[in-house]
Structure 1
Amino acid sequence: MTVAPITGPELQEKIDAKLAEGGLFATMPITVRGVEYPRVFAASNMSLRDLMAMKAAEFKDAEFMVYEDERYTIGEVWQKACRLAQVLIGDYGIKPADRVVIAMRNYPEWCIAYLGIIAAGATVVPLNAWWREEELHYGMRDCEARLVIGDAKRLGYLAPVKEEMGLTFIAAREPSEHADADLEDLIANAPSADMPQVAIDADSDFCILYTSGSTGRPKGAMLTHRSVINAVLSWSFLQQVVNELRPDAKIIVENAVILLSLPLFHVTASHSVFLLSWLTGRKIVFMYRWDVDEALRLIKQEKITNLAVVPTQSHEVIEHAKPGDLDTVTDIVTGGAKRPAHHVAEMTDKFPAVRASSGYGLTETNALGCHNGLSEYLAKPDSAGRPIPPVTEFKIFNDKMEEMPPGEVGEICVKSPATFRGYLAMPKETEKALTKDGWFRTGDLGKIDEEGFLYIVDRLKELIIRGGENVSCLEVENEIYKFDGVQETAVFGVPDEKMGEVVGAVVYAGEGKTIDPQALRDFLLQHVAGFKVPEKIWISPQKLPRGSTDKLDKKFIAKTAIQFPPHLDATK
């Protein structure tokens, strides 16, 4: 759908007008942990529990969760959560600041447990459901929780350390031989459905989420009630601002329904899908696992209006959908990885009534960051978008933390009351990541153009230095995606005695298909500088492995690839 671009001055004027209305979007200056923030949502002086309770009363009869043949209203979910909170406090002695782990795949019980833990005033720790035994054991030891709400598979993984760590298991959805209690029974037999009246400090932790560990062992990001409220209110604020500026784009629609295909242990799903849906009364339709045919069936059956997916899933939907399949869909937003520009063009050509949009955020920012949508996305598909108003600021700094002018590349840094307060038990890592005046150093390299749009160039630690020349992995990957037939690719540095590093690439063409590596290299030589063109190319027979947030696991891909002779070696 093509609408007139929103200019910077036009956007700022509407932001100022919306803020002047006050209400839920009223802001005020606040100092948090010694950092002064000129604009913070006043509503973040309350706890997330109290905000959720307020919205539960407002939308109590609205259908909220659909899983297979099960349906739950917001009122029903909140009542179950409050019953669980009463049990956690009364039967298990859970107090504010205590940590309680969730270890399960995407089930309705995940959301009920999440809300119940928060309603009890405790800190929820959703562990990665894709982790195996050793990784889960690490997470349990690191967060020092003693109570786990999980499904049978994850409880089985944790069983070997149950006695050693003094753990209590509550089984969700299915029975487990290792469980001490059943979640459904505990909720049914709770003494009350009233929300516990424990005091919760707005600057205390509501959640600890683990990063993907791409730069080392997983780090627990400590997220506060104030920080998450500023994130979800920012998204809601932007929706209303853009909807008022461009009503024909239908940013806000009646009976909105979003498809949940991303893991809830990641901020994209837990925050911008789950929590934002609770805040706005939007229905969530769960998928047991991703399958494009099932996704298309659910879109039609449940009249899905919004999809939040990773780029590969978005591409699958567009490739497989037939005329009429996406008639109810207004927007497909991607996150977690960059969507290739030609995917955006293909989607717009095939389904012009469906908007494409993209987001950039991190675990450490409660997923809040930049957004690119409407005509701006079509004009600048390589950009992460503008910073989401009104409480978040982006700047580009050099290694001396000096601000870079527009167009110059440096480290992307963000300052916002939505930012985490630090890494659990990692003071040195926290000090590296957070400056004393509140800037979070993302570790991403980027630039900001004259119109305020952010461009991500690369990860600081993923630059290839070939004979003194810096090569952006992301830039090379974008060019490879333009070659006909490429489904997935990962670019990385390969150790080389002469050059220090040369550019390597693994490419996947799709099931039953192949790519001529020499043809690919010849193509790239026509489009990018010679020193950027991969000199070692591997053709993968299968999809490339991904990490916990569905990003390509480049470290594993590179480590595996260099153990085998490349299909093309231009260094010889």
Structure 2
Amino acid sequence: MAAERTAPERADIEKAMMHIIAHEPVFAIGEAEIRGNRYRAFVNAPGDLRGLIALCDAHGAATAVVCGEDRWTYADLAAKSRAVASGLAQEGVAKGDHVALAMRNSPEWMACYLGIAALGAVVVPLNGWWTADEMAFALEHCGASFVIADPEQGLRITPSKAKLGFRLAAAGGDLDGADTTLQAIMDAGANTSPPAVEIAPDDDLAVMYTSGSTGKPKGVVLTHRAAWSSILSFALVAASVKATPAGAAMVPENPSILVALPFFHVTGSHPIFMLSVLIGRKMVLMRKWSPDEAIRLIKAEAITNFVGVPTMSYELMLKAREMGEPLDSLLDLGSGGAKRPASHVARLSEQFPRAWSSSGYGLTESSALGTYAGMADYQRKPGAAGRPLPPLTDVKTVAEDGQDCAPGEPGEVWIRTPGNFRCYLHDPDSTDAALTPDGWLKTGDMGEFDEEGFLSIVDRLKDMIVRGGENVACLEVEAALCEHTAIREAAVFSVPDERLGETVGAAIVADPAAGLEASDIAEFLKDRLAAFKRPEHVWIVHDPLPRIGSEKFDKRSIRKRCLAGDF
């Protein structure tokens, strides 16, 4: 087995970072006024995402994406992105229009994202695991005028087409009810220049739906500047590592990443997709997660980077150990979407000694910016979420009285960065509750800093479950359960799980005469909730569930009793 690499010291990385900021114009730091507040910002960053298409041109013949038998160069991605923009313009799509994507990860998804952004239109990536009703909610809520869908997800889109009146394009196959095809759009726009549109840095780029603690998903409005703030921050960290003597071999000249996370999540869209375009990294897409297929692709494509929810890297490690595969091309094993169990970190290092594992903490609302833990720091403090990601992001913990917390004192985690979202779409009350007047994002997570400045997440204020990187709002699941006529009340909570971190549990008070069983509940929820939201552990009881003084469910007690078998 290969020898472990020596990691650069944090002091060396920080010294290199200061030199890069001072001498590389794209990373120059100044100030920008954003929605009435002053922020540290990359003052020479491109003004909008058309800068990524220009970078595709610069990367030229380098491989951009591999998806099954399809292989696109960056020149291909640039040309097809412009074709999408020009073709959509001929379809009447204009600046400010909301265009939804209901597609699996694919080269076409990337071209659509960049093409929509190039028009100044707003990309709305839909969660591919949603039901037809969940799709319809988001499409109506955002007011999408145009939808691009593949045949699989399109079947959940077409039922709402007549009511909502959007135009529908089929991508990658036939779709009944479609008005046109993505191929026709690209053919119409091929070899033509997209219309010249003025796009300001703080114009809207995307609406990404994230499960809120109050039930229905919230539309998180992100901007062009927020995207550049995110991807340049991650790129600066990588460049700073590479600029140290020990780190020079840790960031290869021809990086490649195995993409197992969906692009409709902020980790997939920002630090994977857009960052890859920025640095010219090859993206190898997986249609469906499989550790066997992951190992095959890592070997075949000489993959250097992997980012997935902790479940994925854990299963990759187990399968590689079983097969005796060292996977020596791997240099980085990143984790996003959920906290990686501390016990996994040392085990990953043992199995993949050439790769340093890393983790980050951020939200959709912060464009994935927050904290970062990597290399020796992560090995030393595997339970921590890391230190604030330089150079634009500030993180603090705040007590109930509004005062900043001292080290070792838990409080709500607040994030301030130009990557923060503009608003929750059509929801000013929730926006005001989440964003302070001076630009801090209240995350709803409880955390504490140690004396070295490392943040640890210790609890959640929001009634949420994080199942394998997917947020599940307990209230939404409870509301769906209570639509059943035999269910009198329901309390939903997290159940620990070695593979996924948490799964969904539910204590249900049912009418004894109904003879309700867990299988009946599963069938009832099939068309109401996406599979990842449905309870995997159900306790059916006939006595009222315990409550606290405010008459809310005493979920701590309910959870404890269910897991102990006392119900």
TM-score interval, normalised by the smaller of the two chains: 0.7 to 0.9
Aligned position for 1:27: 29
Cα drift, residue 213 of structure 1: 3.2
For this pair of structures, how many residues does the alignment match?
A: 501
Aligned position for 1:238: 237
Aligned position for 2:124: 125
Aligned position for 2:85: 85
Q: Is the 8 A contact 2:88 2:185 kept in 1?
A: no
TM-score of the pair, normalised by structure 2 = 0.82
Q: Is the 8 A contact 1:15 1:241 kept in 2?
A: yes
Cα drift, residue 53 of structure 1: 2.8
CA deviations on 1:410-449 (whole Å, 9 max, x unpaired) are 0000100111111000000000100011100010100111
Cα drift, residue 372 of structure 1: 0.8
Cα drift, residue 46 of structure 1: 0.9
Aligned position for 1:378: 379
State the one-letter code of the partner of 1:438.
Answer: G
Aligned position for 2:20: 18
Cα drift, residue 45 of structure 1: 5.8
CA distance, structure 1, for counterparts of residue 418 and residue 62 of structure 2: 31
Q: How does 1:417-566 map to 2 (within 5 A)?
A: 417-461=418-462, 506=495, 556=535, 560-561=538-539
Q: Is the 8 A contact 1:155 1:178 kept in 2?
A: no
Is 2:2 the partner of 1:3?
no
CA deviations on 1:462-506 (whole Å, 9 max, x unpaired) are 59xxxxxxxxx99xx9xxxxxxxxxxxx9x9xxxxxxxxx99874
Cα drift, residue 192 of structure 1: 3.4
Cα drift, residue 314 of structure 1: 0.5
Q: How does 1:218-233 map to 2 (within 5 A)?
A: 218-233=217-232
Q: SS state of the match for residue 406, structure 1?
A: coil
Is 2:73 the partner of 1:73?
yes
Cα drift, residue 156 of structure 1: 1.9
Aligned position for 1:36: 38
Aligned position for 2:477: none
TM-score of the pair, normalised by structure 1 = 0.81
Alpha carbons of structure 1 residues 2 and 241: separation in structure 2 relative to 1, 3 Å: same
Cα drift, residue 507 of structure 1: 5.5
CA distance, structure 2, for counterparts of residue 320 and residue 326 of structure 1: 11
CA deviations on 1:195-233 (whole Å, 9 max, x unpaired) are 432111111101110113354210011100111101100
State the one-letter code of the partner of 2:436.
Answer: T
Aligned position for 2:352: 351
Q: Is the 8 A contact 2:308 2:335 kept in 1?
A: yes
Aligned position for 1:469: none
Cα drift, residue 5 of structure 1: 6.3
State the one-letter code of the partner of 2:175.
Answer: S
Q: Is the 8 A contact 1:3 1:374 kept in 2?
A: no
Q: Is the 8 A contact 1:296 1:325 kept in 2?
A: no
CA distance, structure 1, for counterparts of residue 105 and residue 17 of structure 2: 36
Aligned position for 1:483: none
Aligned position for 2:133: 134
CA deviations on 1:11-55 (whole Å, 9 max, x unpaired) are 543332221114110121111101111x20013461111x11331
Is 2:95 the partner of 1:96?
yes
Cα drift, residue 282 of structure 1: 0.2
CA distance, structure 2, for counterparts of residue 181 and residue 503 of structure 1: 42
Q: Is the 8 A contact 1:358 1:372 kept in 2?
A: yes
State the one-letter code of the partner of 1:13.
Answer: K
Identity score, percent: 39
CA deviations on 1:298-337 (whole Å, 9 max, x unpaired) are 1111111111111111111100113344111111111111
Aligned position for 1:301: 300
Q: Is the 8 A contact 1:3 1:249 kept in 2?
A: no
Alpha carbons of structure 1 residues 362 and 88: separation in structure 2 relative to 1, 3 Å: same
Alpha carbons of structure 1 residues 340 and 246: separation in structure 2 relative to 1, 3 Å: farther
Q: SS state of the match for residue 101, structure 2?
A: strand
CA deviations on 1:279-307 (whole Å, 9 max, x unpaired) are 00000001111111111111111111111
Cα drift, residue 246 of structure 1: 5.1
Aligned position for 1:520: none
Aligned position for 2:488: none
Alpha carbons of structure 1 residues 442 and 562: separation in structure 2 relative to 1, 3 Å: farther
CA distance, structure 1, for counterparts of residue 145 and residue 370 of structure 2: 33
Alpha carbons of structure 1 residues 509 and 261: separation in structure 2 relative to 1, 3 Å: closer
Q: Is the 8 A contact 2:59 2:74 kept in 1?
A: yes
Aligned position for 1:470: none
CA deviations on 1:155-178 (whole Å, 9 max, x unpaired) are 221212212211111000111111
State the one-letter code of the partner of 1:19.
Answer: I
Q: Is the 8 A contact 2:447 2:457 kept in 1?
A: yes
Aligned position for 1:329: 330
Q: SS state of the match for residue 441, structure 1?
A: strand
Aligned position for 2:282: 283
CA distance, structure 2, for counterparts of residue 508 and residue 211 of structure 1: 22
Alpha carbons of structure 1 residues 415 and 136: separation in structure 2 relative to 1, 3 Å: same
Aligned position for 2:487: none
State the one-letter code of the partner of 1:28.
Answer: G
Cα drift, residue 383 of structure 1: 0.6
CA deviations on 1:120-166 (whole Å, 9 max, x unpaired) are 22111111111111100000011001100011122221212212211
CA distance, structure 1, for counterparts of residue 139 and residue 562 of structure 2: 43
More displaced 10-residue stretch of structure 1: 251-260 or 211-220: 211-220
CA distance, structure 1, for counterparts of residue 497 and residue 127 of structure 2: 26
CA distance, structure 2, for counterparts of residue 156 and residue 356 of structure 1: 39
Q: How does 1:42-57 map to 2 (within 5 A)?
A: 42-44=43-45, 46-49=47-50, 51-57=51-57
State the one-letter code of the partner of 2:356.
Answer: R
Q: SS state of the match for residue 43, structure 1?
A: coil
**Structure 2: tracts of 5 or more residues without a match:** 475-490, 500-517, 543-557
Q: Is the 8 A contact 2:26 2:45 kept in 1?
A: no
Alpha carbons of structure 1 residues 195 and 315: separation in structure 2 relative to 1, 3 Å: same
Cα drift, residue 245 of structure 1: 2.9
Q: SS state of the match for residue 455, structure 1?
A: strand
State the one-letter code of the partner of 1:174.
Answer: G
Q: Is the 8 A contact 1:336 1:551 kept in 2?
A: no
Alpha carbons of structure 1 residues 74 and 336: separation in structure 2 relative to 1, 3 Å: same
Alpha carbons of structure 1 residues 55 and 508: separation in structure 2 relative to 1, 3 Å: closer
Cα drift, residue 351 of structure 1: 2.2
**Structure 1: tracts of 5 or more residues without a match:** 464-472, 478-489, 493-501, 511-537
CA distance, structure 2, for counterparts of residue 359 and residue 551 of structure 1: 26
Please, what is the CA RMSD of the aligned residues? 3.1
